[in-house]
Amino acid sequence: MFDLKRAKILLTGGHGFLGNRVYEELLQVGAKPQNISRPRSKQLDLRLFADCAKATRGRDLVIHLAANVGGIGYNREHPGQLFYDNAIMGVNLIEAARKAGVKKFVQVGTVCAYPKTPRHIPFREDDLWQGYPEETNAPYGLAKKMLLAQLQAYRQEFGFNGIYLLPTNLYGPGDNFSPDSSHVIPALIKKFVEAVSRHEPKVVAWGTGKPTREFLFVDDAARGIVLAAQKYNKPEPVNLGSRYEISIKDLVGLIARLTGFQGKVVWDKSKPDGQPRRKLNTNRAKKEFGFVAKMTFNRGLQKTIEWYLNNY
């Protein structure tokens, strides 16, 4: 058990959507706010090794959440930037943490690292290397995947205690609702709320609606990350998911109903669907550190819509 009550912690991305929740969860389990460093990108550029060295100095634990990330459209427009930023931040931070004598490193990866058509559905961690990721988010997924290889290599050569978590798609209050870079749930909520407020007769949705996704409420994700920071110390990656799968078509219908939209949904089939199916096997997380998601999808979606209505 890693003692978070005494640990000096670096939480990258600590003011972001997930980072704010992880920070609150750390406080809940007894971490001291004065011991948690949450540098903003304006203060430290984690693409620079000198800034990573500065950030990790004197720290016992690093939880690396900072990322350049977005939805399908953003991934298609910025593949090079996404690969470089995410790879170089992670590589620099892991090396700086090793040199600084950090006792434990928690790397939060991405479901986008999985092969486009894995051998098993739900996805098993052992299938992570059994193929190339879905093309629209492959650069991002591969950049994150390389950090798993780095952590396993560092454990083998240096005895560095780095763990790797694979959360599925996150959602919840405080999500990114920017039309340029948001993921599917906030993008759809924004579209439907605006359509209702403007009395628009239709909403355009991307793709065919056939793909399925598993979504994890952000509070559950934060709890899983902190549990792993406390209890998990092995080289094998671990999935974090909700065990609930829904098609994009059904998701669109549910959001339309919850937002009160009564118009028509038009599917733009010229837009990409992305990966055909995503659902994670979460047995390892339950076995290794007792993580099981608590939030039901309908309730989590309601809370997210309510937050959007109250804040936008």
The answer to the question of residue 312 being in a domain is: no
Which residue range(s) make up the domain with 53? 9-172+216-243+278-295
CATH code assigned at 115: 3.40.50.720
DSSP string across 261-293: --SEEEEETTS---SSB--B--HHHHHHH----
Answer whether residue 249 shows pLDDT above 90.
yes
> Do 179 and 189 contact (CB within 8 A), yes or no?
no
* Predicted confidence (pLDDT) at residue 70 exceeds the cutoff of 90: no
Task: Note whether residue 75 is domain-resident.
Answer: yes
* 245-247 and 212-217 beta bridge pairing: antiparallel
pLDDT reading at 37 higher than 90 = yes
Q: Is residue 248 part of a domain?
A: no
Query: Residues 73-84: what's their mean pLDDT?
Result: 94
Domain count, the chain: 1
DSSP strand pairing (169-171 vs 162-167): unpaired
In a domain, 3, yes or no: no
Residue 269 pLDDT: 95
13: pLDDT strictly greater than 90: yes
140 is catalytic: yes
Mean pLDDT, rounded, of the chain = 96
The amino acid at residue 83 is F
Question: Residue 291 falls within a domain, yes or no?
Answer: yes
Tell me if 48 is assigned to some domain: yes
User: How confident is residue 73, by pLDDT bands cut at 50, 70 and 90?
Assistant: confident
Give the whole-angstrom CA distance, residue 196 versus residue 189. 11
Within a domain: 255: no
Asked if residue 272 belongs to a domain, the reply is no
Point out the catalytic residue in the list 23, 114, 140, 164: 140
